[in-house]
Amino acid sequence: MEYQDLASPTHGLNPETEEVALPQKAELKRRLVTVDDGLGNVCYRRDSVDTPMGNDKQHQAPLAEPVKDIPLLAERSRREKEQQSFFRRRCMVDSIWIVLALLGALASVLGFLIDEVIIGLQALLGEWMSLSTGFAGGWCLWILWKVPLVLLAVLVTRGSPAAAGSGIPEMKAILAGFPIPNYLSFRTLIVKVFGLAFALASGLGVGKEGPFIHICGIIANQLLSLKCFRSVNKSTTLRNQVMAAAVGVGVSATFGAPVGGVLFGIEVTSTYYSVASYWKAIFTAIVGTVVFGQLATMGHDTAFNLFWTDFESAPYKAYEMWLFVLLAVICGLASSLFVRFRKLVLVIRQRYQVRFFGRGPFMVSTGVALICGIWEFPFGCPMMLPLRKAANDLFHSSDLWDKDLSCNWNEPIPMFASVCMFLILRFLFTCIIMTLPIPCGIITPVFAVGAGIGRLYGEILHLIEPEITAGGYAVVGAASFTAAVTGQTNDHNHAKIKLWENISRHITVQTHIPNRPERTLRNYFDRGDRV
């Protein structure tokens, strides 16, 4: 049993006697009886004792004994706390599933709206380009379309600098326990959505997977800030589970691949992944995929999958497995060159941007947009296609001048020259565009570059052996190059297999997982650096 004085200096405490000075003849001392019931619960009782005036401590009356019913009060308090904690836990369990369902649905709806805006702007681009009367006129119109939209994306991003870039590295930091101010705010959400839409509509080689993961993280944070979900937000464990599920639904809502999205969330977060988070991420990704599929049937683009193929059930021979391994080696060397060139671009910008373009982002963004527009238009339709359509053409099993494709890759220059120029320009422009202060993802541009490497490799083999399907090598090249550049393997491969809805290339796509020749080479040359 422990006794504590409750006297306060504001009540006239005498520091020598620890007594309260009162105007009456009797002096009142208040003390607190503290009882620990042994269960971690502390009960208190306040006793008042009258003592005669004066500073003689020998006249002070002894403290009153604590009441005998204190253990009963402690037991009742413990039971009330247990009952309250049970209902609180029950509400938290129910609330988190509601949060996850809303997160999956809202992410899919927002992704659908972004796609519709981009499709509308691309249709407007078609009408804009139809105004040209010749090669020079079309060249000017293409540049006049690209530059203003890029500047508009930069201007919008200035409203919240946290919206620039991909968003995946920052989400990894947040999931690791390092919060970033204003990174998950509602203002950043608005800026990210509009900046991404303008950047994609301009024709720049940017992707939306990384930015959309950031967008889903903001949606999750805004849902948790609501009063009805405050109990979930107070729990660090549940909050981390919701944020990890947001990373997965960002992939599934973009690509329609729930398994790939969950695997991406596991690989991105950290080396430790809670088993309890796995089922919540699966649930969120499935909700997002179902909603995304239903909305896709109502939009202008009714294709549920981002990419598609038309391969046969067994489109490769047994000896081609060694050719796929060789392609993985080539992708590893190309990924090392990609990472090194990106570092070179960053060094050049740090040294010479202020001297030639100033400190503001508008001049350098205008220069990059002009360079892209000047070099893209002369090589015809393949360079002006969105990355999604260009990759779908490269995955096609038929010739690249087939009428079912988005454009004829054999005009205005021969097919081999078109694929080579697509590969070189997209390789260089992707490294440069990634440094601009706009929302931009790296997965889709790198995926298209890998598809170009694989298609060129397959076309060369097709000249030697006509039975070889060149489009199959584009699939393997895309998966290999993407895994080598980003350092992720399982998530990208499962996402691509789900996107294509064709498991005939499952073994060939997974070829580099046990061997991983492309990542081994990249790590050897770049010491494990990745984008």
d(CA 228, CA 519): 46
Shared domain check, 284 and 408: no
Q: Which of 246, 263, 296 is the last residue of a domain?
A: 296
Quote the pLDDT of residue 404: 77
Tell me if 10 is assigned to some domain.
yes
Burial classification of residue 222, based on how many CB atoms lie within 10 Å of its CB (0-12 exposed, 13-18 middle, 19 or more buried):
middle
Q: What is the pLDDT at residue 268?
A: 64
Chosen domain end from 67, 87, 119: 67
State the number of CA atoms in the 13 A half-sphere of 280 facing the CB. Answer: 28
- Residues facing 33 on adjacent strands: 3, 45
What is the CATH number for 230?
Answer: 1.10.3080.10
User: Quick one: pLDDT at residue 46?
Assistant: 45
* Residue 52 backbone dihedrals phi, psi, to 5 degrees: -70, 160
Per-residue HEC secondary structure of 86-131 comes to: HHHHHHHHHHHHHHHHHHHHHHHHHHHHHHHHHHHHHHHHHHHHCC
Dihedral pair phi/psi, residue 179, rounded to 5°: -65, 145
Contacts of 389 by beta carbon, 8 Å cutoff, 6+ apart: 406
Q: What is the 3-state secondary structure (H, E, C) of 155-187?
A: HHHCCCHHHCECCHHHHHHHHCCCCCCCCCCHH
From the first residue on, what is the mean pLDDT of each consecutive set of 10 residues in the chain (531 residues)?
Answer: 42 43 42 44 44 44 47 59 55 76 90 87 87 86 92 92 87 83 91 92 87 91 87 82 86 72 68 72 86 76 55 66 86 89 90 83 91 90 87 85 82 89 93 90 89 92 88 86 74 49 52 49 54 60
Asked if residue 85 is part of any domain, the answer here is no
Same domain for 173 and 61:
no
| Amino acid sitting at position 510 | Q
Q: What's the burial of 4, exposed, middle or buried (CB within 10 Å: 0-12/13-18/19+)?
A: exposed
Q: Omega before 211 cis (within 30°)?
A: no
What is residue 54's predicted lDDT score, i.e. its pLDDT?
Answer: 43
Cα 328 to Cα 78, 276, 481, 497, distances in angstroms: 63, 35, 8, 17
Pairing of strands 42-52, 26-36: antiparallel
- Structural domain count, the chain: 3
Same-domain status, 349 and 200: no
Q: Give pLDDT, residue 66.
A: 47
Q: Judge whether 222 lies within some domain.
A: yes
- CB-based burial of residue 130 (10 Å sphere; 0-12 exposed, 13-18 middle, 19+ buried)? exposed
pLDDT at 531: 60
Q: Which residues of 463-496 are buried (b: 16+ CB within 10 A; e: fewer)?
A: eeeeebbbbbbbbbbbbbbbbbbbbbbbbbbbbb
The pLDDT of residue 11 is 44
Do 339 and 284 fall within a single domain? Answer: no
The number of helices, as runs of H, and strands, as runs of E, in the chain is: 20, 5
Task: Give residue 344's Cα distance to chain centre.
Answer: 26
Are 263 and 223 in the same domain?
A: yes
In a domain, 28, yes or no: yes
The β-bridge relationship of strands 13-14 and 19-20 is antiparallel
pLDDT attached to residue 30: 43
- Are 32 and 158 members of one domain? no
pLDDT of residue 112: 86
Domain identity same for 265 and 211: yes
Same domain for 99 and 20, yes or no, is no
Helix (H), strand (E) at residue 415: helix 415-433
Mark which of 281, 296, 311 sits at the end of a domain. Answer: 296
Cβ(254)–Cβ(212) under 8 Å? yes
Q: Is position 147 within any domain?
A: yes
Asked whether residue 80 is assigned to any structural domain, the reply reads no
**Is 482 domain-assigned?**
yes
Domain membership flag for residue 79: no
Same domain, 169 and 264: yes
Q: Are residues 12 and 99 located together in one domain of the fold?
A: no
* Same domain assignment for residues 447 and 493: yes
Beta pairing class for 19-20 and 26-36: unpaired
Question: According to the model, what pLDDT value does residue 476 have?
Answer: 85
Give me the domain span that covers residue 51.
2-67
> 162 and 274: one domain?
yes
